[in-house]
C-alpha cells in the first residue's frame, strides 16, 4: 500500500454504496449483492451505507424496498454533501453510474478505496464517443477495480481508456426472482427487441403462435413493444410480415394507446448475447412485465395460458443467465479489500526504484495491497539516471529498496544503501550484457530476482554470481484480467503480439499461416503492435528495414495470405484482444522470457513457441515446436480432433495458471520483500556505508570512442535487441562495436573459468608465436625458438583489418598457418575471437605447446587467453617488436572498471596474461602498463639474426601440400663449377615443399661433360625432382629443352650463376594464379658477395604494391626471365626463338605480356624471397661486344617478334605499352649501334629485306627509321 493510505492498518470501518438509479432491476441487483454484508480480511463484518441517487418515486420500483438504503435526489448540490458526510466513516466506496463516477474520480479522498461500477449501458449508447476516454481514464486511474456488467462494456472501456488495463472485472449477471407484485392473471404477452428488425427466432415463435391462433375466433392480443418501438421498427427487418398476424399490436413502451400493458415479455435469449438479453430483461421490468426466456417457453403451453386454459409456469420459464462467468460484486469488493496477512508490530518500508515498470505489474499490485508494506516510488526518466537527492532521502527512509531492472539506480543503491537496509534487484534480460552488471556492487545487493531458471543459469555462468543470491520469480499475468470467454472463431485465430524488432520473426508466422490456409481457409493471423516504421531506431536501420519490406512485399504479392492477416494497433487491453485468439505464437529468434504467450496461455490460448534458447525452461516441452512445419502439424492435428482445441486450451491455461498467475508471483514478491533479511545477509564489513556519501558516486566514464558511446546509449534505451551503430564514425563497424559490447561478459565468464583452474601448471617455454596477418607485421625476425608460428586474420572493423590483404596472406598457407574467419561484417569481434581461439587450441594440441606468445593487439591476446584457458596454458604478450601497434587500441592505464568494454578487456587481460615481453633497454612510456604486476613485465633480448628467411623448423605435419602447385625450375647450365652447385643448394633450401619442385637442369655446352657431378648432388639432396637433361648449345636451346620437359603448373627460370633466397618459390606461389605472372625482387650480388638490394628491378616490383595489374602496364618488368613465376598454361607451345643470341627473354616474355588478360603481381613481401642475380662479365644478358648479330639482327628480330604479338590487337593501351616499353628499347639499341658502327645501316637495310612490309612500315611510321 502507499504510505498515503494506511487504511489496512485499521479495522475496516465501512463500505458505502452509491447507486445511480437507471432502472429498478439494476438498482435492486446491485443492492442485493452487497446488502448481505461485507467482511474485511479478518472476517469482521463492517457497516454498509447505501445511497440511491434517484427521483422520489423510485422506491416503489425497487423490489427490495425493505432493505436499508437512502434515496437522495440526483441534484448534486444535495447528494454530494450527503454522501461525502457518510464517507467520513467509510474506507471504501462503490459507485455506479458513469456520470456520478466522474464526480467521484475528480474529488476522491486520497485514502479511500474506490470501486466504480459502470453498468449503465454506456457502451450501447450511440452518443458514446471516444471523447469519453478522458473521463474513463480518470475514473480508472483513481480506481482499484472497475466493474462492468458485460464483456462488451469492459472491452469498450479498455479500448478507449488504457488506464483500465489489468483492473477491470465483469460482474456475474443477476438471476431474476419472481415477486408477488406481478399480476399474471390476465396475461398479455410482449416481445422485447433491443435492435431494429425481428430475429428469426422471434419470427418463428410468432409463426408457430399463428398456427394456434388460426383456429381461434378471437385470438388473444399480443403486444410487441420496446422502447421507441412501432410498426415501422419491425418493418425495417427481414421479417416484417409478422405485422399481418391476427392479434398483433405494436406499441412503444409508454405508448398511451397501450390500454392494457403486457404482463409478460418474451426475451429472445436465443439470438442475443447476455448483455442484450439483460437489457431486454430490464426493459421488461420497467414495463412491469415478467420476462420469459424464449428458449424455455413451450408454445402449446403458452397458447393454453393465453387462452385462459392454464396458468403461467413462471418458475420454469423464468429468464436466467447461467452464472458461468464473472464475479459477484461482493466478491469483487472482498478481493479489492483483501490485504495480506498483517505481521503484528511489523511494517516494511519499501522504495521501488526504476523508470520502466511494464514488467512490474505483480510487484506493484502486491506493494499496494500488502497491509504490512508501505511503499513509495523513486522514479527516474530512464535507466541511466539517479536522482541523488531523492535517493539519499529514500535510502534513509526505506527498509528495503527494490530496483526495477539492473540500472544506474541499482548501481547507486548497491554502493550507498546502508548495510542494515536491504536491496533487491529485479533483472529482466538485456542487463546481463550491460555495463550496469559490471558496475553493480554485488556485496551491496541482497537478492537478485530474475524471470526464469534459464536466465538464472545464465547469470551464474556469465557473471559468476552466487546462486544463493538469485531468486526466480516468473513474469506473470493476471488471471482475473485474462480469463475471459473466447469467441467462437478463436480456435482458428493465431495471435502475435509485437513484430518489432525484427527478431520477433513475423515471417515465421506467415510461413505457418500459409501452410494452414492451404488446408483450412478459416485460419487467420492477428498481429498486434505498432508497425516498424513508427519505431525510428528500427526503421532507420537499412538491413532491418529490408526485412520488413520483405514482409510487405510478401503480403502484396500473396493476396491470399494478406487476406488472412490483420494488423491491429498497439493497446494495453491485451486481455480484451486475447478473447479472439486461440493460438498464441512466439516465433522469436531470441527472448529472455516472452510474456505475451504466457498471457495468451492464461487466457486459454494455446501457445506455439519456436525452439530457442531457454524456451523449454519457460514453456515446457509440450508447447515448444522444433520448427514451422511442426507448428503446422500441431495446429492441424489439434483442429482435426473433436474438442481437440478445447482440451489443449484447458491444459495450456492450467499449465500457465500453475506457474505464471500473478497470485503466485505476488506471494513470492511479498515473501522476498518481508524476509529478504533472512535470505541473505550482506557483508558486515560494509559498515562504512552506514552514512550515505554522495561523493562516492563515480560518474560514468564513457569512452571517447563515439561509436561505443552511441552503441552504449542505444543499448540503454532499447536493450540489446535494437543495438545498431551510427555510420558517422569511421571505425564504427557494427561487427566491431557490437562485438565489444558483448565481449565483457565473455571475458568475465572466461576469468571465472580461469580462476577455477589450478594455477600450478609448469611454465612451458615452448611457445606458439601468434602474430597478426596485417601488412607491416608480417615478417618475424626473431621467433625466440617458437615451435610454430601462426598469423591471425584480424576482425572486421579493427585497425588491422585495413591492412589485411586476403590474397596476400591466405595464399601463403600452409607455410604459415593463417587462423580465424575472414573479416566480415557478419562476424562480430567476439565471434571472431572465439573462432581463432578454437584454432589456437588445435594448434596447441598439435604442437604439444601450451604457451602462446602473442605479438598482436589486445584482441589477439584475448583470443589466446581463451585458448589458454581451454588447454590450461599460458599467454605472454610480446610487445618487443610492435609495441606501439600492439597497444594502440588498448587501455593501458585502466584501473577501474567502467562501461567502456575496452577498459574491461584491458583489466581482464592484465590479470590473466602471464608475462609482458618488452625489448630490453626499450623505454616504456610513463603510466603505461601500470595495471600490470611489475614482475610480469620481462625484458627480452633480440638476437636479430641475419637470416633473411622465415625460420620454420618444420612444416605442419598435416599441411595440405597436395594442394600446393608443382613448380618447374628451369636451370640451363653451360658449365659446371662452384656457382652451379651454389645455385642448386639455394634451390634445395627452399622453404617451399621440395616434393612440389622439379628442377630441369639442362646441360649444354661444356657442362655435359660434368653430368656426374650434378647426378651426385641430386643423390645427396633428395626432395625436389632433379631432372638432368642435355640440349644443344646455347641458352635458348637449353630453356626450350627444359620447357618441353616441364610438368609443373608454374615455371620459373634460374640462371646457373644466380641464386634464389629460401622463400623465393614460396613467395611467388603465394601470389600465383593461372592468369598471372608473379614477379620477385631481383637483387644483385657481385663476385665479392656484395649485395645491391636497391635495384631498379626491386623498385619496379615494389611499385606494384599489393595490387594485381594488367601485365602490359608494367611491361618494363619483362626484360628478363629471372625472378618470374609464369603459369605453364600461359606459355603453352610458345618457345624461345632459336635464332636469337640476345634479347631472347624479351621476345619470349613479350608474347606473354601481349596477352591482354595476363596479370602481374608482386611476390609475397615476406623476407628472404629475392632472386639474386650475379653481376658477371660473362653473363649472356650483358654482352659487351657489339656485333651485327647483337646490334642489328637480334634487335630487329626481337622487335619483329614483339610486333607480331601486338599485330591485330585492339587494345590501344596494350599496343602503346609494348611499343614504348619493349620495342622502343630494341630500336634505341639498334640506333645506338649504328651510331658507333655506321656500316650497320647497310646491314639493317639487308635484314629488313627479310621482314614483312607491314613491319617495315611500322618501323618507319613509329620510329622514323627511314630518317
Query: Which residues in the 449-478 window bind another protein by CB under 8 A?
Result: 478
List Cβ<8 Å contacts ≥24 apart for 626-632: 628/508, 628/511, 628/512, 628/515, 628/587, 629/515, 631/512, 631/585, 632/512, 632/515, 632/516
Interacting residues with another protein between 378 and 407 (CB under 8 A): 378-379, 389-390, 393-394, 397
- For residues 544 and 1027, which CB has a smaller minimum distance to another protein in the complex? 544
Task: Indicate whether 426 belongs to the interface with another protein (CB under 8 A).
Answer: no
Among 11, 141, 522, 717, binds another protein (CB under 8 A): 141
Query: What span, in angstroms and rounded, lies between the C-alpha atoms of 771 and 860?
Result: 8
Q: Number of residues in contact with another protein, rule: CB under 8 A?
A: 80
Piece in contact with another protein (CB under 8 A), picked from 372-380, 1013-1021, 1044-1052, 1198-1206? 372-380
Query: What span, in angstroms and rounded, lies between the C-alpha atoms of 590 and 1150?
Result: 62
Among 79, 147, 159, 375, binds another protein (CB under 8 A): 375
* Cis amide leading into 1152 (omega within 30): no
Interface characters, 588-627, with another protein (x: CB under 8 A): -xx-------------------------------------
Smallest separation (angstroms) from another protein to the CB of 474: 15
Smallest separation (angstroms) from another protein to the CB of 733: 7
Among 88, 338, 358, 755, binds another protein (CB under 8 A): 358
Contacts of 141 (CB under 8 A, 6+ apart): 105, 163
Interacting residues with another protein between 77 and 116 (CB under 8 A): 110
Interacting residues with another protein between 6 and 65 (CB under 8 A): none
Interacting residues with another protein between 699 and 728 (CB under 8 A): 724-725, 727
Exposed, middle or buried by CB within 10 Å (0-12, 13-18, 19+), for 227? middle
Smallest separation (angstroms) from another protein to the CB of 166: 4
Query: What span, in angstroms and rounded, lies between the C-alpha atoms of 78 and 572?
Result: 38
Task: Indicate whether 131 belongs to the interface with another protein (CB under 8 A).
Answer: no
Interacting residues with another protein between 726 and 765 (CB under 8 A): 727, 732-734
- For residues 120 and 662, which CB has a smaller minimum distance to another protein in the complex? 662
Task: Indicate whether 357 belongs to the interface with another protein (CB under 8 A).
Answer: yes
- For residues 572 and 1116, which CB has a smaller minimum distance to another protein in the complex? 572
Interacting residues with another protein between 777 and 836 (CB under 8 A): 825-826
Tell me the sheet residues that pair with 999: 969, 1026
Query: What span, in angstroms and rounded, lies between the C-alpha atoms of 630 and 1003?
Result: 75
Asked if 903 and 700 touch (Cβ cutoff 8 Å), the reply is no
121: left (phi > 0), else alpha (psi -120 to 50), else beta?
Answer: left
Tell me the sheet residues that pair with 970: 1000, 1053
- For residues 166 and 782, which CB has a smaller minimum distance to another protein in the complex? 166
Smallest separation (angstroms) from another protein to the CB of 105: 11
Smallest separation (angstroms) from another protein to the CB of 341: 21
Tell me the sheet residues that pair with 291: 265
Interacting residues with another protein between 1190 and 1209 (CB under 8 A): none
- For residues 557 and 884, which CB has a smaller minimum distance to another protein in the complex? 557
10 Å Cβ neighbour count for 1208?
A: 6
Task: Indicate whether 1249 belongs to the interface with another protein (CB under 8 A).
Answer: no
Asked if 898 and 700 touch (Cβ cutoff 8 Å), the reply is yes
Task: Indicate whether 361 belongs to the interface with another protein (CB under 8 A).
Answer: yes
Among 22, 67, 443, 550, binds another protein (CB under 8 A): 550
Exposed, middle or buried by CB within 10 Å (0-12, 13-18, 19+), for 834? middle
Q: How many residues does the chain have?
A: 1267
Smallest separation (angstroms) from another protein to the CB of 542: 4
Distances (CA, A) of 667 to 356, 359, 449, 467, 528: 22, 16, 14, 21, 31
Q: Which helix (H) or strand (E) holds 649?
A: helix 644-660
Among 21, 282, 365, 491, binds another protein (CB under 8 A): 365
Interacting residues with another protein between 552 and 591 (CB under 8 A): 552-553, 555-557, 559-560, 562-563, 565, 567, 570, 572, 574, 589-590
Interacting residues with another protein between 482 and 501 (CB under 8 A): 501
Query: What span, in angstroms and rounded, lies between the C-alpha atoms of 1261 and 138?
Result: 99
Among 545, 989, 1011, 1100, binds another protein (CB under 8 A): 545
- For residues 481 and 1144, which CB has a smaller minimum distance to another protein in the complex? 481
Helix, strand or coil, per DSSP, at residue 1003: strand
Piece in contact with another protein (CB under 8 A), picked from 10-18, 191-199, 373-381, 1243-1251? 373-381
- For residues 163 and 840, which CB has a smaller minimum distance to another protein in the complex? 163
10 Å Cβ neighbour count for 1044?
A: 13
Task: Indicate whether 163 belongs to the interface with another protein (CB under 8 A).
Answer: yes
Piece in contact with another protein (CB under 8 A), picked from 1-9, 243-251, 834-842, 1060-1068? 1-9
Among 356, 461, 622, 834, binds another protein (CB under 8 A): 356
Among 27, 150, 541, 847, binds another protein (CB under 8 A): 541
Smallest separation (angstroms) from another protein to the CB of 1082: 34
- For residues 89 and 534, which CB has a smaller minimum distance to another protein in the complex? 534
Smallest separation (angstroms) from another protein to the CB of 159: 12
Query: What span, in angstroms and rounded, lies between the C-alpha atoms of 1092 and 390?
Result: 78
Asked if 235 and 210 touch (Cβ cutoff 8 Å), the reply is no
Distances (CA, A) of 300 to 245, 296, 307, 318, 580: 18, 12, 11, 17, 40
Piece in contact with another protein (CB under 8 A), picked from 61-69, 116-124, 158-166, 894-902? 158-166
- For residues 100 and 588, which CB has a smaller minimum distance to another protein in the complex? 588
Contacts of 86 (CB under 8 A, 6+ apart): 16, 49, 51
Residue-wise DSSP of 1088-1148: T--EE-S-HHHHHHHHTTT--EEGGGGGGGGG-SBTEEEEHHHHTT----TT-SSSHHHHH
- For residues 351 and 608, which CB has a smaller minimum distance to another protein in the complex? 351
- For residues 164 and 715, which CB has a smaller minimum distance to another protein in the complex? 164
Task: Indicate whether 544 belongs to the interface with another protein (CB under 8 A).
Answer: yes
- For residues 183 and 566, which CB has a smaller minimum distance to another protein in the complex? 566
Among 31, 92, 140, 790, binds another protein (CB under 8 A): 140
Piece in contact with another protein (CB under 8 A), picked from 40-48, 335-343, 534-542, 1103-1111? 534-542
Interacting residues with another protein between 1003 and 1042 (CB under 8 A): none
Q: For the sheet containing 583-586, what is the strand order? A: 565-568, 524-528, 493-497, 583-586, 606-610, 624-625
The DSSP output letter for 728 is S
Exposed, middle or buried by CB within 10 Å (0-12, 13-18, 19+), for 440? buried
- For residues 163 and 906, which CB has a smaller minimum distance to another protein in the complex? 163
Contacts of 930 (CB under 8 A, 6+ apart): 892, 893, 895
Exposed, middle or buried by CB within 10 Å (0-12, 13-18, 19+), for 742? middle
Amino acid at each position: 500500500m502507499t504510505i498515503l493510505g494506511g487504511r489496512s492498518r485499521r479495522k475496516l470501518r465501512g463500505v458505502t454504496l452509491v447507486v445511480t438509479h437507471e432502472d429498478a432491476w439494476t438498482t435492486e441487483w446491485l443492492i442485493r449483492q452487497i446488502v448481505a454484508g461485507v467482511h474485511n480480511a479478518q472476517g469482521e463484518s463492517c457497516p454498509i451505507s447505501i445511497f440511491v441517487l434517484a427521483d422520489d418515486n423510485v422506491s416503489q420500483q425497487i423490489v427490495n424496498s425493505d432493505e436499508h438504503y437512502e434515496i437522495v435526489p440526483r441534484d448534486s448540490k444535495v447528494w454530494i454533501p450527503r454522501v461525502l458526510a457518510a464517507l467520513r466513516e467509510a474506507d471504501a466506496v462503490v459507485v455506479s453510474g458513469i456520470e456520478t463516477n466522474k464526480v467521484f474520480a475528480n474529488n476522491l479522498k486520497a485514502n479511500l478505496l474506490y470501486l466504480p461500477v459502470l453498468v449503465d449501458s454506456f457502451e450501447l449508447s450511440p452518443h458514446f464517443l471516444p471523447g469519453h476516454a478522458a473521463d474513463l481514464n480518470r475514473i480508472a486511474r483513481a480506481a482499484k477495480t472497475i466493474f462492468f456488467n458485460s464483456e462488451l462494456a469492459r472491452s469498450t472501456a479498455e479500448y478507449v481508456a488504457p488506464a483500465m488495463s489489468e483492473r477491470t472485472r465483469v460482474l456475474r449477471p443477476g438471476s431474476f426472482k419472481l415477486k408477488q407484485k406481478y399480476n399474471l392473471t390476465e396475461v398479455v404477452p410482449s416481445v422485447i427487441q433491443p435492435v431494429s428488425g425481428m430475429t428469426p427466432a422471434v419470427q418463428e415463435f410468432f409463426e408457430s403462435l399463428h398456427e394456434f391462433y388460426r383456429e381461434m375466433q378471437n385470438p388473444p392480443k399480443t403486444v410487441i413493444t420496446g422502447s421507441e418501438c412501432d410498426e415501422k421498427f419491425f418493418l425495417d427487418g427481414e421479417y416484417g410480415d409478422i405485422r399481418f398476424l391476427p392479434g398483433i399490436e405494436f406499441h412503444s413502451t409508454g405508448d398511451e394507446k397501450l390500454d392494457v400493458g403486457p404482463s409478460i415479455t418474451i426475451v429472445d435469449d436465443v439470438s442475443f448475447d447476455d448483455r442484450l438479453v439483460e437489457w431486454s430483461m430490464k426493459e421488461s421490468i420497467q414495463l412491469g412485465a415478467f420476462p420469459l426466456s424464449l428458449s424455455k417457453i413451450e408454445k402449446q403451453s403458452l397458447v393454453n395460458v393465453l387462452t385462459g386454459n392454464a396458468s403461467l409456469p413462471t418458475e420454469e420459464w423464468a429468464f436466467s443467465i447461467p452464472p458461468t462467468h464473472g464475479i459477484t460484486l461482493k466478491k469483487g469488493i472482498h478481493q479489492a479489500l483483501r490485504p495480506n496477512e498483517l505481521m503484528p508490530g511489523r511494517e516494511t518500508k519499501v522504495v521501488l526504484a526504476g523508470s520502466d515498470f511494464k514488467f512490474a505489474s505483480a510487484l506493484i499490485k502486491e506493494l499496494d495491497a500488502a497491509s504490512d508494506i508501505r511503499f513509495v516510488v523513486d522514479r527516474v526518466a530512464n535507466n541511466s539516471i539517479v536522482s541523488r537527492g531523492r535517493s539519499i532521502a529514500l535510502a534513509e527512509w526505506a527498509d528495503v529498496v527494490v530496483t526495477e531492472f539492473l540500472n544506474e539506480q541499482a548501481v547507486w543503491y548497491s554502493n550507498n544503501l546502508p548495510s542494515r537496509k536491504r536491496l533487491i534487484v529485479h533483472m529482466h534480460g538485456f542487463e546481463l550484457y550491460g555495463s550496469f552488471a559490471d558496475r553493480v556492487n554485488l556485496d551491496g545487493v541482497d537478492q537478485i530476482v530474475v524471470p526464469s531458471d534459464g536466465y538464472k543459469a545464465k547469470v551464474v555462468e556469465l557473471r559468476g554470481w552466487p546462486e544463493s543470491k538469485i531468486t526466480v520469480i516468473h513474469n506473470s499475468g493476471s488471471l482475473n484480467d485474462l480469463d475471459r470467454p473466447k469467441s467462437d472463431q478463436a480456435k482458428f485465430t493465431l495471435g502475435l503480439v509485437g513484430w518489432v524488432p525484427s527478431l520477433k520473426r513475423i515471417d515465421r508466422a506467415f510461413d505457418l499461416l500459409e501452410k494452414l490456409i492451404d488446408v483450412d481457409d478459416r485460419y487467420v493471423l492477428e498481429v498486434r503492435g505498432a508497425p516498424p516504421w513508427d519505431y525510428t531506431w528500427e526503421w532507420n536501420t537499412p538491413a532491418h528495414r529490408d526485412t520488413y519490406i520483405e514482409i510487405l512485399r510478401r503480403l502484396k504479392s500473396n493476396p491470399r495470405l494478406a487476406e488472412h492477416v490483420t494488423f491491429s494497433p498497439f493497446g494495453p487491453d491485451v486481455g480484451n484482444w486475447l478473447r479472439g485468439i486461440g493460438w498464441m505464437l512466439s516465433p522469436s529468434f531470441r527472448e529472455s522470457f516472452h510474456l505475451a504467450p504466457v498471457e495468451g496461455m492464461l487466457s486459454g490460448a494455446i501457445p506455439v513457441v519456436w525452439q530457442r534458447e531457454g524456451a523449454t525452461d519457460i514453456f515446457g516441452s509440450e508447447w515448444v515446436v522444433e520448427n514451422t512445419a511442426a507448428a503446422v502439424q500441431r495446429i492441424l492435428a489439434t483442429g482435426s480432433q473433436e474438442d481437440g482445441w478445447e482440451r489443449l486450451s484447458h491444459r495450456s491455461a492450467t499449465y500457465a495458471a500453475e506457474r505464471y498467475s500473478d497470485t503466485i508471483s505476488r506471494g513470492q514478491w511479498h515473501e522476498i520483500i518481508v524476509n529478504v533479511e533472512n535470505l541473505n545477509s550482506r557483508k558486515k564489513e560494509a559498515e562504512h556505508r552506514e552514512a550515505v556519501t554522495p561523493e562516492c558516486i563515480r560518474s560514468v566514464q564513457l569512452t571517447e570512442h563515439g561509436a561505443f558511446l552511441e552503441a552504449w546509449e542505444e543499448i540503454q534505451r532499447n536493450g540489446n535487441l535494437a543495438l545498431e551503430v551510427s555510420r558517422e564514425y569511421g571505425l564504427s563497424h557494427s561487427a566491431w562495436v557490437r562485438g565489444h559490447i558483448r565481449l565483457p561478459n565473455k571475458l568475465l565468464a572466461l576469468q571465472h573459468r580461469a580462476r577455477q583452474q589450478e594455477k600450478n601448471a609448469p611454465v612451458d617455454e615452448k611457445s606458439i608465436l601468434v602474430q597478426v596477418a596485417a601488412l607491416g607485421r608480417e615478417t618475424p625476425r626473431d621467433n625466440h625458438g617458437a615451435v610454430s608460428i601462426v598469423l591471425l586474420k584480424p576482425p572486421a572493423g579493427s585497425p588491422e583489418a585495413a591492412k589485411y590483404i586476403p590474397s596476400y596472406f591466405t595464399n601463403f598457407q600452409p607455410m604459415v598457418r593463417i587462423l580465424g574467419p575472414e573479416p566480415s561484417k557478419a562476424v562480430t569481434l567476439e565471434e571472431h575471437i572465439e573462432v581463432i581461439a578454437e584454432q589456437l587450441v588445435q594448434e596447441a594440441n598439435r604442437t604439444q605447446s601450451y604457451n602462446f606468445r602473442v605479438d598482436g593487439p589486445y584482441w589477439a591476446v584475448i583470443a589466446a587467453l581463451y585458448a589458454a584457458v581451454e588447454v590450461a596454458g599460458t599467454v605472454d604478450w610480446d610487445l618487443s617488436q610492435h609495441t606501439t601497434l600492439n597497444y594502440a587500441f588498448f587501455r593501458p592505464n585502466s584501473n577501474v572498471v567502467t562501461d567502456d568494454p575496452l577498459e574491461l578487456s584491458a583489466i581482464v587481460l592484465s590479470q590473466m596474461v602471464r608475462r609482458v615481453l618488452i625489448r630490453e633497454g626499450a623505454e616504456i612510456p610513463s603510466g603505461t602498463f601500470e595495471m600490470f604486476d611489475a614482475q610480469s613485465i620481462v625484458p627480452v633480448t633480440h638476437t636479430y639474426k641475419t637470416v633473411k628467411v622465415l625460420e620454420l623448423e618444420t612444416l605442419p605435419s598435416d599441411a595440405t601440400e597436395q594442394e600446393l602447385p608443382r613448380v618447374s625450375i628451369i636451370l640451363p647450365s653451360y658449365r659446371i663449377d662452384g656457382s652451379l652447385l651454389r645455385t642448386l643448394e639455394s634451390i634445395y633450401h627452399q622453404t617451399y615443399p621440395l616434393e612440389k619442385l622439379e628442377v630441369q637442369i639442362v646441360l649444354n655446352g661444356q657442362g655435359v661433360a660434368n653430368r656426374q657431378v650434378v647426378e651426385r648432388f641430386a643423390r645427396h639432396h633428395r626432395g625436389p625432382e632433379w631432372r638432368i637433361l642435355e640440349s644443344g648449345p646455347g641458352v635458348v636451346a637449353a630453356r626450350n629443352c627444359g620447357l618441353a620437359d616441364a610438368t609443373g603448373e608454374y615455371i620459373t627460370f634460374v640462371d646457373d650463376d644466380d641464386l634464389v633466397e629460401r622463400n623465393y618459390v614460396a613467395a611467388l606461389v603465394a601470389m600465383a594464379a593461372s592468369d598471372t605472372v608473379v614477379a620477385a625482387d631481383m637483387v644483385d650480388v657481385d663476385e665479392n658477395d656484395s649485395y645491391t638490394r636497391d635495384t631498379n628491378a626491386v623498385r619496379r616490383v615494389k611499385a606494384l604494391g599489393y595490387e594485381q595489374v594488367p601485365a602490359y602496364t608494367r611491361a618494363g618488368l619483362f626484360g628478363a626471365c629471372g625472378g618470374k613465376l609464369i603459369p605453364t598454361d600461359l606459355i603453352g607451345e610458345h618457345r624461345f626463338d632459336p635464332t636469337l643470341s640476345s634479347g631472347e627473354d624479351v621476345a619470349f616474355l613479350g608474347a606473354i605480356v601481349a596477352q591482354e588478360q595476363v596479370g602481374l603481381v608482386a611476390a609475397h613481401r615476406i623476407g628472404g624471397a629475392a632472386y639474386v642475380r650475379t653481376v658477371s662479365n660473362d653473363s649472356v644478358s650483358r654482352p659487351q661486344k657489339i656485333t651485327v648479330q647483337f646490334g642489328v639482327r637480334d634487335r630487329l628480330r626481337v622487335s619483329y617478334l614483339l610486333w607480331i604479338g601486338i599485330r591485330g590487337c585492339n587494345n590501344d593501351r596494350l599496343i602503346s605499352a609494348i611499343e614504348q616499353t619493349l620495342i622502343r628499347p630494341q630500336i634505341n639499341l639498334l640506333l645506338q649501334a649504328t651510331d658507333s658502327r655506321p656500316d650497320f645501316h647497310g646491314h639493317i637495310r639487308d635484314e629488313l629485306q627479310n621482314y614483312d612490309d607491314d613491319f617495315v612500315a611500322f618501323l618507319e611510321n613509329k620510329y622514323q627509321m627511314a630518317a
